[in-house]
A and B are shown apart, each in its own frame.
Chain A
Amino acid sequence: DIQMTQSPSSLSASVGDRVTITCRASQSINNYLNWYQQKPGKAPKLLIYAASTLQSGVPSRFSGSGSGTAYTLSISSLQPDDFATYYCQQSYNTPLAFGQGTKVEFK
């Protein structure tokens, strides 16, 4: 099974900060990497798919990059609505594993 490891597990940031979250797969996943945002009590929301494609309606301050086993989610200028938990997920093969999550908190 492919293991997904996110770092950091949590981070504190201020409005306007640039934030970067890293996701590493235990083997190459050929850009089958998706990012989700989840707020407390809500379902996850798709942000980015295929490593770097922005889902319709998602603000352009979100971006994704990477290849092979290493991927990043960046938020160029953190907004109040962005304080949430972020998950990466590989859809290369089964099981379709998620990372453990990165909680972005207010500094």
Chain B
Amino acid sequence: QVQLVQSGAEVKKPGASVRVSCKVSGYSLSDVSMHWVRQAPGKGLEWMGGFDLDDAETVYAREFQGRVTMTEDTSTNTAYMELRSLRSEDTAVYFCASAVEFSSYLDVWGQGTTVTVSS
């Protein structure tokens, strides 16, 4: 069964970093393009970035460049998203989602990880 299972909720102070994990089961992480999407409370979906299989590089949304790093550990079939210099506006649910290729639909989603940034 194809599944993405994310790590648990986090509470962080402004200026801190957070790392969210996304464990893949049912297929190999190296065979898909993994993306990250976030959703602030009561707001819409915001694409943060994803891995381009063809170019073997991660593409980040301009808004997050320099502050986010997305990595993959193929030995454990786990993807990670680290967001640094957190501010209150980063309070959101963070989703991982996979696609068969970079410019494609997101057909498998993790359950979401709530990140709360508060002093």
Instruction: Tell me which residues across on chain B come within 8 A of A99, comparing CB atoms.
Output: 44
Instruction: Tell me which residues across on chain A come within 8 A of B107, comparing CB atoms.
Output: 46, 49, 55
Interchain CA distance A1-B104 in the complex, whole Å: 17
> Is A95 part of the binding interface, using a Cβ–Cβ cutoff of 8 Å?
yes
Inter-chain contact A94/B45, CB cutoff 8 Å: no
Chain A interface size band reads: 20 to 34
Contact of A43 among B35, B59, B61, B112 (CB under 8 A): B112
Inter-chain contact A95/B105, CB cutoff 8 Å: no
Q: In the complex, how many residues of chain B place their beta carbon closer than 8 angstroms to a beta carbon of chain A? A: 22
Shortest CB distance A45–B (Å): 7
Inter-chain contact A98/B95, CB cutoff 8 Å: no
Stretch at the interface among A17-25, A69-77, A85-93: A85-93
Shortest CB distance A36–B (Å): 8
Inter-chain contact B103/A32, CB cutoff 8 Å: yes
Inter-chain contact B47/A98, CB cutoff 8 Å: yes
Interchain CA distance A95-B97 in the complex, whole Å: 15
Inter-chain contact B44/A43, CB cutoff 8 Å: no
Interchain CA distance A100-B44 in the complex, whole Å: 6
> Is A84 part of the binding interface, using a Cβ–Cβ cutoff of 8 Å?
no
Q: B80-100 toward A: CB 8 Å interface, digit per residue (1/0)?
A: 000000000000000101010
Interchain CA distance A50-B84 in the complex, whole Å: 34
Q: 12 A-B Cβ contacts within 8 A?
A: A43-B95, A44-B106, A44-B109, A49-B104, A49-B107, A87-B45, A91-B104, A92-B103, A96-B35, A97-B47, A98-B44, A101-B44
Nearest 3 pairs of A and B residues by beta carbon: A49-B105, A43-B109, A34-B105
Known A49-B104, A97-B47; 19 more pairs at CB < 8 Å: A32-B103, A34-B105, A34-B106, A36-B45, A38-B45, A43-B97, A43-B109, A43-B111, A44-B37, A44-B45, A44-B109, A46-B106, A46-B107, A50-B105, A55-B105, A91-B104, A96-B103, A98-B45, A100-B44
